[in-house]
């Protein structure tokens, strides 16, 4: 028999058991579940309090006539659950749907004709839950539904009509196969950037790669970081996932630069030009100095924009105002956050993010915050202006990709969460919980589990907000890309929560409304004509795989992990078609680093293996993997090698063979990391490190133009073109 704690945990989606990475059942301790429920703001100190909490949830569940948001599939049976108190004696209900573009639909139903799906009691009253059938031919979109009983009782909800499939690009119709180049945008070098890859560099890459057959450019998350703290650099710990990183703005491409004499004079100054040369020459991105240089000039451009455009209500001023109006309250709050963060940081290092701010500023809706926004109108407007510039330049890159003939264009990435001290969490404090963080249970790569330091969203609050935060997140990230990757797609179904003060291994899975979230994802996918790619590495629940299959969301396949049960690499023909495949990723070694076992040496040097036995086992496994790779290449006719021969050294020819193996796969999309085009060894990121390794800083070793002019690179890409067409890559 379930205890009150079991029932409360169940009501809030807190799992009591799970399967570990060895597929063994694990039980979550009572202490862990209590800590997670406490993080949700519940009093679980004694059984009476737990019983009260259960009673409250059950009461709300029955007293609310219809859920805050109802998600249905266009063309399928659309059922709206309606909770009705029996003591009212209601006989009939009427419904009214206000469509998002103004039209409406309405109808009525006799209660005795409706299916009863549940019975219950709340506040000493008997209730029934009935399913109301509504029309199946409603247009896709975000509507509202109101239901009224003949006794006068009524309720309303957001009514979301979604498609039954995600968008499928014509470029991939009839099992066409494309390939692309994946880059960390900040890592690109050029003769014109200011020490960090920018949107002009992105356009250059598009222009040079498209004629070589490249169908898409994959990007790291371009999420907004903290302009006032440029030392915070991880794209997977952003201030806000809804907006853009301002350091990607190509300053001299801003229209105001051509008009602003003071800005041009400043940039042309000899000392500034020397600074730019120094910033371009660094091995790693020097974020603080890059930020200082860019923002110094961008402030000049903003002042010019105010006097030359806003004061005269030019077309450009009207475009800016339209952008601000369309992005609405989320953008306004983000701009206020950036302005407030910058102002407080000037007062001293004690202010490192909103949890450290004076209490009056921690609530985004407080009088103090509104007063700050009124008193610092230009500071806030400057932040709005910069977001507008970044958005313009990203859209221009996607436009160029399509005009240049790229079959898809840009491929974006959404991080799994946001930084606890940033804009996204500050703007919606009720949604994000501060006494727990997101991570992962123990697995073979992290035997102690992982704690990513990212606050989880409260699934109950997400529903209460009618899924608006999720909708805005997906929509804003799809605006300028042809494909969008969701990091850790399992977040649509469940997340591993680690209560504050406990270890990662003491966490538990908390569940989210998968059916609703993936339907909304499909709706935004269709509206934005954007392919959805779910990063489904690791332990993936059956529910997630089935949902991805149903909605035609693309899988994410990494060649280094695609193995059969006997350890052999899967043959190219064994890859699923609806997938994006890649040899390696930003969290893994480069291809050359993997082949030369430099990644293991690096991790040993960083003391990332718990003991010598594990390190030895990793070495032994790698030796097997390398020989398995040679066997796989030989089986496909991409290399001549006998199992009694030594392994060949790394070479461009070997890289070409491995990338060709990927190109021959059935996966509709194949991606090549730019580092692997030129045989780089240093990884982008070493999971488990922070200051120990220069994560998210390392630049590529050559300019884009130099890379794509190399004979060995062009040879590799020609082989990829042939492989994608199903031809022999060796010609």
Q: Do 452 and 439 form a contact (C-beta atoms < 8 A)?
A: yes
Give the C-alpha separation, 623 to 640, whole Å. 19
Average pLDDT of the segment spanning 56-64: 95
Give the C-alpha separation, 717 to 705, whole Å. 15
Please write the tens of the pLDDT for every residue from 311-347. Answer: 999 999 999 999 999 999 999 999 999 999 999 999 9
The pLDDT value given to residue 2 = 82
Task: List CB contacts of 380: < 8 A, sequence separation 6 or more.
Answer: 332, 335, 336, 339, 373
pTM summary value: 0.96
Please write the tens of the pLDDT for every residue from 175-203. Answer: 899 999 999 999 999 999 999 999 999 99
Q: 3-class DSSP state for residue 403?
A: helix
Please write the tens of the pLDDT for every residue from 508-546. Answer: 999 999 999 999 999 999 999 999 999 998 888 999 999
The pLDDT value given to residue 228 = 97
Q: 3-class DSSP state for residue 177?
A: coil
Extract long-range pairs of 253-256: CB within 8 Å, 24+ residues apart.
Answer: 253/199, 253/200, 253/393, 254/298, 254/301, 254/389, 255/316, 256/301, 256/302, 256/304, 256/305, 256/308, 256/309
Please write the tens of the pLDDT for every residue from 538-587. Answer: 888 999 999 999 999 999 999 999 999 999 999 999 999 999 999 999 99
Rg from Cα positions in the chain: 27
Q: Do 336 and 365 form a contact (C-beta atoms < 8 A)?
A: no
Whether residue 207 is predicted with pLDDT greater than 70 in this model: the reply is yes
Q: What are phi and psi of 680, to 5 degrees?
A: -75, 155
Please write the tens of the pLDDT for every residue from 685-712. Answer: 998 788 889 999 999 999 999 999 999 9
Q: Do 495 and 512 form a contact (C-beta atoms < 8 A)?
A: yes
The pLDDT value given to residue 602 = 94
Residue with tokens 């693309």: 554
Whether residue 666 is predicted with pLDDT greater than 90 in this model: the reply is yes
The residues that bridge with 525 in the sheet, in sequence order, are none
Average pLDDT of the segment spanning 380-396: 98
The pLDDT value given to residue 691 = 83
């Amino acid at each position: 028999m379930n205890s009150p704690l079991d029932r409360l945990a169940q009501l809030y989606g807190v799992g009591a058991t799970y399967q570990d990475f060895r597929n063994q059942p694990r039980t979550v301790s009572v202490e862990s579940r209590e800590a997670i429920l406490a993080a949700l703001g519940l009093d679980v100190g004694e059984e009476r309090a737990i019983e009260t909490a259960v009673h409250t949830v059950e009461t709300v569940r029955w007293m609310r006539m219809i859920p805050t948001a109802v998600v249905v599939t266009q063309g399928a049976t659309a059922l709206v659950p309606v909770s009705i108190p029996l003591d009212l004696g209601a006989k009939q209900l009427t419904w009214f749907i206000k469509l998002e573009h103004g039209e409406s639909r309405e109808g009525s139903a006799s209660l005795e004709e409706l299916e009863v799906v549940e019975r219950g009691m709340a506040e000493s009253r008997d209730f029934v839950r009935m399913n109301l059938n509504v029309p199946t031919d409603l247009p896709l979109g975000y509507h509202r539904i109101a239901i009224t009983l003949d006794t006068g009782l009524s309720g309303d909800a957001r009514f979301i009509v979604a498609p039954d499939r995600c968008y499928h690009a014509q470029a991939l119709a009839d099992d066409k196969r494309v390939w692309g180049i994946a880059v960390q945008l900040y890592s690109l070098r050029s003769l014109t950037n200011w020490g960090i890859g920018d949107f002009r560099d992105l356009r250059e890459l598009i222009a040079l790669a498209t004629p070589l057959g490249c169908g898409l450019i994959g990007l790291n998350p371009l999420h907004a970081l903290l302009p006032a703290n440029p030392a915070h650099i991880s794209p997977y710990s952003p201030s806000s996932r809804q907006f853009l990183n301002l350091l990607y703005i190509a300053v001299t491409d801003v229209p105001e630069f051509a008009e602003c004499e003071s800005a041009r004079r400043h940039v042309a100054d000899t000392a500034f030009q020397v600074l730019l040369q120094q910033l371009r020459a660094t091995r790693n991105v020097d974020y603080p100095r890059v930020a200082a240089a860019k923002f110094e000039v961008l402030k000049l451009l903003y002042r010019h924009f105010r006097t030359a455009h806003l004061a005269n209500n030019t077309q450009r001023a009207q475009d800016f105002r339209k952008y601000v109006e369309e992005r609405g309250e989320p953008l306004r709050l983000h701009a206020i956050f950036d302005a407030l963060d910058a102002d407080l940081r000037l007062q001293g290092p004690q202010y490192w993010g909103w949890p450290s701010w004076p209490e009056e500023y921690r609530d985004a809706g407080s009088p103090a915050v509104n007063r700050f926004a009124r008193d610092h109108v230009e500071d806030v407007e400057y932040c709005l202006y910069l977001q507008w510039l970044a958005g313009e330049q990203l859209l221009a890159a996607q436009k160029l990709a399509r005009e240049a003939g790229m079959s898809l264009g840009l491929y974006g990435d959404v991080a799994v969460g946001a930084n606890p001290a940033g804009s996204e969490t500050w703007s919606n404090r009720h949604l994000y919980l501060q006494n727990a963080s997101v991570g992962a249970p123990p697995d073979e790569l992290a035997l102690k589990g992982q704690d990513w330091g990212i606050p989880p969203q409260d699934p109950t609050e997400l529903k209460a907000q009618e899924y608006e935060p999720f909708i805005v997140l997906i929509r804003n990230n799809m605006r300028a890309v042809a494909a969008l990757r969701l990091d850790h797609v399992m977040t649509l179904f469940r997340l591993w929560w680690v209560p504050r003060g406990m270890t990662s291994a003491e966490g538990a899975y908390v569940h989210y409304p998968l059916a609703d979230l993936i339907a909304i994802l499909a709706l935004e996918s269709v509206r934005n004509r954007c392919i959805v790619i779910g990063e489904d590495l690791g332990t993936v629940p059956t529910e997630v795989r089935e949902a991805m299959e149903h909605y035609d969301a693309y899988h994410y396949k990494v060649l280094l992990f695609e193995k059969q049960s006997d350890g052999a690499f899967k043959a190219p023909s064994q890859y699923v078609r609806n997938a994006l495949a890649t040899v390696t990723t930003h969290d893994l070694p480069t291809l050359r680093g993997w082949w030369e076992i430099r990644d293991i040496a690096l991790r040993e040097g960083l003391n990332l293996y718990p003991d010598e036995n594990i390190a030895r086992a990793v070495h032994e496994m790698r030796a097997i993997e390398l020989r398995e790779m040679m066997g796989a290449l030989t089986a496909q006719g991409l290399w001549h090698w006998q199992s009694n021969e030594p392994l060949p050294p790394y070479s461009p020819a070997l890289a070409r063979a491995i990338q060709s193996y990927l190109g021959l796969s059935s996966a509709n999309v194949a991606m090549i990391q730019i580092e692997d085009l030129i045989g780089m060894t240093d990884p982008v990121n070493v999971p488990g490190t922070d200051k120990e390794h220069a994560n998210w800083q390392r630049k590529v070793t050559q300019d884009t133009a130099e890379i794509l002019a190399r004979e060995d690179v062009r040879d590799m890409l020609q082989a990829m073109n042939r492989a994608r067409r199903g031809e022999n890559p060796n010609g």
